[in-house]
Amino acid sequence: MALTIESTDLDFTSMHERMASYVDKDILSCCATLVMQGTKIVDYKTVGYMNLEDKVPLQEDAIYRMYSNTKLVTSVALMMLYDEGRFELDDPLSKFMPAFADMQVLAAGATSADDVVAAKKPILIKHILSHSAGFSYGFVEPDSVIDQAYNKTINVLGDFDLDLEEFCAKVATLPLAYEAGTSWRYSVATDVCARLVEVLSGQKFDAFLQDRIFTPLAMTDTDFWVPAEKASRFITMYAPTDLLDPMAPGLVKADDSTAGQYNQQRKLLSGGGGLVSTVSDYVTFLQMLVNGGEWNGQRILQAETLELMRTNQLAEGVHVAFPMWAMPGTVFGLGFALKQDLQEGDPANAQNEYQWGGLAGTHSWMAPEADLTGFCLTQRLPGFWHPFSHEFKSHAYAIAGKK
């Protein structure tokens, strides 16, 4: 679907040139940037290539691996069922998924996954929506006791032969990193949310998304795989040759566009990172969020439910924290990271910004006080919280943010 760009007197030249420089320096293979004021698109620009081997220019309808941008869609899907009264946020997860009833927690100072104690508190549904349940991922902090336990049980990044029910059954056998609700840790929690959608709705997760979100919003290219007839629009993914220096030039192929992980249907419908999408598809989803849960006559969420999703769900003093990425002043709602405390250098109108992104370099953020939304995409693994996305955001605020 062709995007409609509003005519304005805004000049995005400096932003375009800066993003192009990342491609010119062989740090990114491609980059697409889009800026909205309200729900109106005021800028859309593509630079770079579908692949570095043939140097086919990046197409406006290119298909991207969305990775953890999938989490926003999954969180909305679960909260649609909240709107229908299917659950309460303070319901124990075990009410609907009994395997999570009697969890164990790593003991203080645990040196192995066998050093556990019985959990004192149940996992609540609000915990799985806010990454405060005590789950982990396996790759964020691979030397930790909890991630080593995950890696012995589940290959989150490479094993797609489990369905969501089987995946969650394995997660339920692992200890929690901490008592539910007491800390924050990036995790498989959103995959558990996807399974909960299946349990509550009686539908497979992909069918629910198609019926309830993608078809109503005309997101025709968003799915868990790329069929052969669309493969020419699928971007090749690259990894940096120097993983320790994000600004070092040099890229190597990490996933092929015609013979890669996404070119056949996979059993695991990952709610945490499985979707592919296009700029126009995903922007329609963002427009729905910015517009209070409704777009093009289709009501996806109640406006008050979206407000609730943008409310901090973490315990007092708990913040979003990664070993490798500093995100100071950031807390977490029901599916969104939230800018709670402005930091030095942040524009004043960034307060209450809500956002998340994907490991391959797709990042979306919505800033109500600036009346501004930004969406920046590439296919670089890893590419989350990379300097290019920070520079894009800085330019977008400066050029188009409501003062």
Q: What is the pLDDT of residue 1?
A: 67
Summarize the confidence of residues 160-180 as an average pLDDT: 97
Q: What is the pLDDT of residue 403?
A: 74
Q: What is the pLDDT of residue 323?
A: 86
2 pLDDT higher than 90: no
Confidence of residue 156 (pLDDT cuts 50, 70, 90): confident
Summarize the confidence of residues 284-312 as an average pLDDT: 98
Least confident stretch, 152-166, 275-289, 364-378: 152-166
CA angle 267, 360, 362 (to 5 degrees): 105
Q: What is the pLDDT of residue 362?
A: 98
384 pLDDT higher than 80: yes
Q: Check if the beta carbon of residue 140 is closer than 8 Å to that of residue 147.
A: yes
Q: What is the pLDDT of residue 159?
A: 83
Percent of the chain with pLDDT over 70: 100
Instruction: Name the nearest CA neighbour of 136 among 275, 354, 322, 319.
Output: 322
Q: What is the pLDDT of residue 240?
A: 97
135 pLDDT higher than 80: yes
Domain 63-224+266-284+291-329: which CATH number of 2.60.40.10, 3.40.710.10, 1.10.260.40, 4.10.520.10: 3.40.710.10
Could you report the per-residue pLDDT of 320-376, keeping only the tens digit for each? 999 887 789 999 999 999 999 999 889 999 999 999 999 999 999 999 999 999 999
Could you report the per-residue pLDDT of 223-263, keeping only the tens digit for each? 999 999 999 999 999 999 998 899 999 999 999 999 999 99
- CATH code of the domain occupying 1-62+234-246+342-403: 3.30.450
Q: Cα–Cα distance between 93 and 90 in angstroms, integer?
A: 9
Query: Is 63-224+266-284+291-329 the same fold as 1-62+234-246+342-403?
Result: no
Map out the domains of the chain as residue ranges.
1-62+234-246+342-403, 63-224+266-284+291-329
Query: What's the whole-model pTM score?
Result: 0.97
Q: Which residue has the higher pLDDT, 142 or 326?
A: 142
- How many Å separate Cα 219 from the centre of its chain? 17
Q: What is the pLDDT of residue 342?
A: 94
4 pLDDT higher than 90: yes
Rounded mean pLDDT of the chain? 96
Instruction: Name the nearest CA neighbour of 132 among 316, 354, 388.
Output: 316
